[in-house]
Structure 1
Amino acid sequence: MFTGIIEELGRISAIEPIAGGLRLFIEAKEVLQDLKTGDSLAVNGACLTIVGRRDTELAVEAVGETLEKTTIGSWKIGGQVNLERSLSAAGRFGGHFVQGHVNAAGRITQWYPRGENWFLEVEIPPHLMRYIIPEGSIAIEGISLTVASLNSNRVGINIIPHTAKATNLQFKQVGEAVNIEVDMIAKYLEKLMEVMRNS
C-alpha cells in the first residue's frame, strides 16, 4: 500500500529484456536507505518488486499484465520516474490509499501554467470514468491528486508548484501517456452495491 506522496525522482539507468518482460535498473538515493531485495516500490505508480540493489541503484522487473496496463514498455534510459516506498505501520499518511495496481494508461491533453499553479488535463479510458468524481482522489504517475473538473472522459487537475517540481510532471508534454489508478474505495463501493442488489 502507498500514499501517492512521491519521495524521490529516480533515473532509469538500464533496461534489459527478460522472459516475458523487462528488468529495469533505477538510480536512486533516499528510497535505498532501508529497501532490500523482495520489498515493494511504486515506480510511476506501478507496484514493482525489487530483485536486486547496490549502493546507488536498484533493479525491478515488470511482466505480463503490468506491462499491458502501464506505460513501462515505453520507458527510456535516462527517463525520470516517481518513487515511493510502501507505507509503514508508523508512517504518516498524507495522500490517499494507492495500491500500486495501475488500471490503465491515460493521455495528457493539456499541461500549462495557470496563475501561480499548473493545470493538467488527462484523457481517461471511458470504463474508468465511473470511479472518478469532482474533488475525489486519483493517482496519476503514482501521485495522489484531487480532481478539479470532469469533461466527458477527461479529468482536470490543478497542480501546485511543489508537486510539479518534486515529481516527473515537470518533464511531461501534451500527448504523453501516464499511468492511472482510480480510487480503490470507489471500486469497493461498486462491488458492495452489486452484492446488495443481487442478495
Structure 2
Amino acid sequence: MFTGIVEAVGSIVSITGMGDGAASIGIDVTALAEVDGQAAPRLRRGDSLAVDGVCLTVTALEGSVVWVDAMRETLERTTLGVARPGRAVNLERAVSADGRFGGHLVQGHVDTTAEIAARDRHEHYDVVVITLPDRIADYVVSKGAIAVDGVSLTVVDVWEDAFSVGLIPTTIEATTLGRRRVGDLVNLEADVFAKYAERLLSRRFGWRAAGPAEAEPTAAPVRRPGAASPALHGPTAAAAVGMAGPGEVQP
C-alpha cells in the first residue's frame, strides 16, 4: 500500500521481453539511496515498489539498479507498455505501519491511462487538465483524491470529458509531473473506496453510479453534468481554477 507521496525520481535503464507479453524492467534507484543517506537503497527482493504509480515486486537488485517484472496486463493498462530506457519514473516504497500517511490510500493498481489535454503555467502553480476515461468517470469528484503517475493529487474541477489538478512547485520539482507535456499519457488510479461503495450498492441493491450521460441534476450548478471541459472545447485550463463570483457556485 502507498500514499502517493513520491520519495524520489528514478529512471528506466533496461526493458527485456520475457515472452507471453511480459517484461523485466531495470530501474536506477540511486535517488532512493540518497534519500536514505546510504550507499544502497533500503530495498530487498520481494519488496513492493510503486513505479509511476504501478505496484511492482522487486525481483533482483544489482547495485543501484532494481529489477521488476511486469505481466502483459500491466503493460497494456499502464504507461509502462510504451516506456523506453531513459524514461524518468516516480518511485515510492510501500508505507510502513509506523510511517506518516501524507497523501491518500493508493494501491498501485492503475485503472487506466489518460492524456494531458492542457497545461497552464502560473507563477506559483500549474493547472493540468487530463482527459477523463469513462472507466473511472464515476469515481472522480471535485476536491476528491486521484493518483496521477503515482502522485496523490486533489481534483480541482470535473467535466464530462476531463478533470483538472493543480501542481505546486514542490510537486513540479520532486516528481515527473514537472516534465510531462500536453499529449503525454499518465497513469490514473481512482479512489478505491468509491469502487468498493459502487460494488456493494450494485450487488445489494442493483444500484450503479450514473455515468456522465446519466448524471442526475443537482440542486446547485456544478460544471460536470453535460458540460465539456474548456481545455478540450474552448478556453485554456486557466478557466479550471477561476474563483467563484457573486451568485456563482465554486465546484
Equivalent residues of 2:41, 2:64 under 8 A apart: no
Q: Residue 144 of structure 1 is aligned with which of 152, 159, 164?
A: 152
Equivalent residues of 2:112, 2:135 under 8 A apart: no
Secondary structure of 2:5's aligned partner: coil
Distance 2:135 2:161 in 1: 9
Q: Percent identity?
A: 39
Distance 2:193 2:161 in 1: 20
Q: Which residue of 2 aligns with 1:10?
A: 10
Equivalent residues of 1:105, 1:124 under 8 A apart: no
Q: Which residue of 1 aligns with 2:121?
A: 113
Q: Which residue of 1 aligns with 2:54?
A: 46
Deviations 1:115-157 (A, max 9, x none): 4100111102112110011000000000000000012120101
Match of 2:8, as an amino acid? E
2:86 maps to 1:78: yes
Secondary structure of 1:36's aligned partner: coil
Distance 2:121 2:94 in 1: 31
Q: Which residue of 2 aligns with 1:61?
A: 69
Q: Which residue of 2 aligns with 1:26?
A: 27
Aligned-residue CA RMSD in angstroms? Answer: 1.4
Distance 1:157 1:114 in 2: 13
Distance 2:120 2:176 in 1: 15
Equivalent residues of 2:25, 2:69 under 8 A apart: yes
Distance 1:172 1:127 in 2: 23
More displaced stretch, 105-114 vs 175-184: 105-114
TM-superposed deviation, 1:112: 2.6
Q: Structure 1 stretches of 5 or more lacking a match?
A: none
Equivalent residues of 1:11, 1:79 under 8 A apart: yes
TM-score of the superposed pair, with normalisation by structure 2? 0.76
2:129 maps to 1:100: no
Deviations 1:80-114 (A, max 9, x none): 00000011111110000000000000110012312
Q: Residue 190 of structure 1 is aligned with which of 198, 209, 217?
A: 198
Match of 1:24, as an amino acid? I
Choose between structure 1 and 2: higher strand proportion.
1
Q: Which has the higher contact order (CA 8 A, sep 6+)?
A: 1
Distance 1:115 1:178 in 2: 24
Give 1 or 2 for the bigger CA radius of gyration. 2
2:43 maps to 1:35: yes
